[in-house]
Structure 1
């Protein structure tokens, strides 16, 4: 099953995506839907108004998660090619709900940083509350998967040893287009970033050092994960900052972030004008 959140006058609406048709679900968004214990049944039998996907303005698939947890240094081949040891524990940082934008929204480049980078990411979407989850509980807590790009303000990120200030910029992180449930998708297919028709990142999502179940177990040890929470699982090699010379997003770029079987983000890039 595939679930989307789309914008309507005054708010949002959740929908079930079947091919190119979206059927409205009685929920304000996917996050609100997941808060129901019977969300799978509710979504499966939904028979509300139908829309063509092409006619909808998709929002972040979960517009207001209580937590957005991000993982750094988590693609095995990328770590090894950089000459680093595989990490024993996940490297974690956070974003805020204000960071999220929709799958076709414009990425606005703030004037405060001129080193703005792309990072394609597989996202875990939580469907059941869990704390100190066992492996079985962690697996059961995963509602599905989606796509994100952890657009990063590198100058701000590397001002200190803590990454938050370069990662949690407002309206910077596209997420979507849909949550795909685990019965239809599991890690393995290719993730890629395409910038202006040039492939910048490409790797199998099965190359994660810390996979989805391990990440849910680890994060739930420290805090309760709740329905609609997002875990961004890290990015493969090919980011602009690591290139020689470095390459960053500029006004007029077009950024496509895709995972086979999950869909793609397609975001124009525009410089912000500040009076």
Structure 2
């Protein structure tokens, strides 16, 4: 059975370090029971130092960042955190191109630079792609194709592409303020095939075999099994439900037992 990957994006939560430690400890406890699933927790940057020790003790949870600078190394840039800095404090993964970052003006060119910096440093970038709206004429596929082409430009010869993960997260399906509008597994399956074909055209057939594709967008315990078994994906990107300890534990449990 191929190992699945579940990535928790905490976004701008929780409000205190104490709550972060409590939530992380509960997630770690759940992860220790898993046999076929890799767990990545992506908290706000200010919690890396306090949570890093807990992650290293378990060996079952990896740390991920929610973004990284376009600049490498160190320098005069205010408010920036480079891939090298993240790597040195034990971060292994980084979410890039999330819709919330794109809404703030992040361009495909910026994402491309971040991916290249991350791969060169040894981080594992999680590239998020997805359309804002779903239409019947298939135009939304062109949006995803354009995002992939721009974000991955110039990476065909990159040996570390095995560290890349693609997260298909349609913007319209991301839960907001309690709303719940997940995509359906059959649709996700079609998109996973389309994404793999697009990746093959950009990076080559050999590279695409090494790149996992995961789904995100209103992921909850009641949808996990269907997405993993029918959606053609290798894992899930979990947002709001990763902040509810019991729900996230159930998500991990179901994912671990899925075929």
Structure with the higher fraction of residues in helix conformation:
2
Q: Same fold (TM over 0.5)?
A: no
Q: Which has the higher contact order (CA 8 A, sep 6+)?
A: 1
Structure-2-length-normalised TM-score: 0.30
Q: Which has the higher strand share?
A: 1
